[in-house]
């Protein structure tokens, strides 16, 4: 008789940087946005759809 159920761990979705040759990965969308703005400004200005498609 199990009174307490085990909680399932939340599923973390790993996101990879869309820039070619970049190995950055994260589980937070906000961190990915900051990374792209800082490391790949050409992507943040011209292709914000790449960030939105990660969602």
Check whether 48 has a pLDDT greater than 80: no
Both structure tokens of 40: 């790949």
Check whether 4 has a pLDDT greater than 90: no
Both structure tokens of 36: 């792209």
Mean pLDDT of 26-46: 87
β-strand partners of 34: none
Q: Are 40 and 54 in contact, with CB atoms under 8 Å apart?
A: no
Q: pLDDT over 70 for what percent of the chain?
A: 76
Q: Specify the pLDDT at position 53.
A: 56
Q: Specify the pLDDT at position 49.
A: 56
| Beta carbons within 8 Å of 50's beta carbon, 6+ residues apart | 18, 36, 43
Q: Specify the pLDDT at position 51.
A: 53
User: Alpha-carbon distance 24 to 37, whole Å?
Assistant: 13
């Amino acid at each position: 008789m199990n009174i307490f159920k085990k909680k399932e761990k939340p599923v973390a979705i790993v996101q990879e940087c869309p820039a070619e040759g970049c190995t950055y990965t994260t589980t937070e969308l906000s961190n990915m946005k900051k990374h792209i703005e800082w490391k790949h400004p050409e992507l943040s200005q011209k292709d914000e759809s790449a960030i939105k498609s990660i969602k």
